[in-house]
Amino acid sequence: MTAIPELPPSLRPDLARAARFLDAHPPPGELVQCGVTGAHFYGFPSANSDLDLKGVHRAPLEALVGLEPPAETHDVLTDFEDLEHDLTTHELRRALELLLRGNGNLLERFLSPFQLVEGLTSELAELARGAMSQRFHKHYRGFFGAMRREHEREPHLKSMLYSYRVALTGIHLLQSGECVGDVRALAPEHGFGEILEAVAAKADGGEKAPIEPALDAALRDGWNTLEAHLQQALDRSALPEEPPNRAAVSDWLVRTRLG
């Protein structure tokens, strides 16, 4: 298990405020899981980082069997108590479907260390760990490419950190079957400790802090190596090609609905 450093108290997510936000903006159903992701999960928050809240809601059984299907996704992006909050929840079936397809966003919300709801959190985390497969490579490779393009259009610390974080999470997952989001733990373990200078600079400079040209050039030089390591991690991965617990996930969903 990779050791994840504690965030300084001033940079930890305010879970009490997040809970108040959830009370004010509930999804269309029972909220059964919600985790903080984004910069707090990735290990490079700033004092003014928004709260990225990602979770799962369960629609009432009556809505599922009626003529009008319930909303599968609930999105709210707004300021709340002087801080931007970005909330997305998926209906339970849709969330599990995305997990089994290899969507890393679902994996990360289930396994975030910052959880806000008792609900089904522990059960969903167990299902997520059982669904580890090579399917997640596509998500992390695609996200890595997207962040590189974003950084090339508008270079700043945040986009560079995102590019390294997503590649390293994918590499680590394919090698170990372990989902780790914190770049402060991943970078030294996988030989990319130079990104930690960007982590410190963003913590001091805030969400929109620019990146120094010399640091930018040095970190861009690591992109091709990251890409190669991500492919090597897939080629050598001991994870199954497909999620091995698809039937168990389906059975669990049925029991949870009927229960």
Q: Is residue 158 part of a domain?
A: yes
Statement to judge: residues 14 and 111 lie in one domain: yes
pLDDT for 124 equals: 98
> Is pLDDT above 80 for 118?
yes
In a domain, 2, yes or no: no
Starting from the edge strand earliest in sequence, which strands make up the sheet with 83-91, in order?
30-36, 51-58, 83-91, 73-80
CB 57 within 8 A of CB 28: yes
User: Is residue 87 domain-resident?
Assistant: yes
Residue 4 domain-assigned (yes or no)? no
**Per-residue pLDDT at 17:** 97
Do residues 77 and 174 both lie within one domain? no
- What was the pLDDT predicted at 67? 81
CATH number at 35 reads 3.30.460.10
Q: What pLDDT shows up at residue 66?
A: 81
Considering the domain architecture, whether residues 162 and 119 belong to the same structural domain is answered as: no
What is the number of structural domains in the chain?
Answer: 2
What pLDDT does residue 104 have? Answer: 97
Position 242 pLDDT exceeds 70: yes
Report the pLDDT averaged over residues 172-198.
96
Give the closest residue to 164 by CA, choosing from 203, 241, 216.
216
Is the pLDDT at 1 greater than 90? The verdict is: no
Residue with tokens 């770049």: 183
Taking only the tens place, the pLDDT of each residue in 141-177 is 999 999 999 999 999 999 999 999 999 999 999 999 9
Range of the domain at 40: 9-131+243-258
Other Cβ atoms less than 10 A from the Cβ of 243: the count is 23
Residues 108 and 140 in one domain: no
Strands 83-91 and 51-58: parallel
Q: Is there a single domain that holds both residue 145 and residue 158?
A: yes
The rounded distance, in Å, linking the Cα atoms of 250 and 167 is 30
Q: What is the pLDDT of residue 45?
A: 96
pLDDT band for 65, please (50, 70, 90 cuts): confident
Whether residue 21 is found in the same domain as residue 113: yes
Please give the Cα distance from 122 to 110 (Å, whole number).
8
pLDDT in tens, 9-51: 889 999 999 999 999 999 999 999 999 999 999 999 999 999 9
Q: How many CA atoms lie within 13 A of 136 on its CB side?
A: 32
Closest CA to 34 of 89, 71, 98, 72: 89
Q: Where are the alpha helices (DSSP H) in the chain?
A: 15-24, 38-42, 61-65, 92-101, 104-111, 121-130, 136-153, 157-176, 183-189, 196-205, 213-220, 223-235, 246-258
Percent over 90 (pLDDT), the chain: 88
Does residue 140 share a domain with residue 123? no
Where b means 16+ CB within 10 Å and e means fewer, 114-135 reads bbbbebbbeebbebbebbbbbb
**Residue 137, SS3?**
helix
Same domain flag for 30 and 121:
yes
Is 171 domain-assigned? yes
Per the domain annotation, does 3 fall within a domain?
Answer: no
For residue 189, tell me if it sits in a domain: yes
Q: The whole model's pTM is what?
A: 0.95
**pLDDT for res 63:** 82
100 and 63 within one domain: yes
Residue 76 domain flag: yes
pLDDT tens per residue across span 50-60: 999 999 999 98
Q: What is the pLDDT of residue 147?
A: 98
The pLDDT assigned to 110 comes to: 98
Same domain flag for 111 and 204: no
Taking each helix axis from N to C terminus, what angle separates 213-220 and 157-176, rounded to the nearest 10 degrees?
30
69: confidence class by pLDDT, cuts 50, 70, 90: confident
Residue 18 pairs in a beta bridge with none
DSSP 8-state code for residue 115: B
Same domain, 126 and 247: yes
Say whether both 144 and 60 belong to one domain: no
Tokens of 101: 């397809």
Q: Average per-residue pLDDT in the chain?
A: 95
Class of residue 28 by CB neighbours under 10 A (exposed 0-12, middle 13-18, buried 19+)? middle
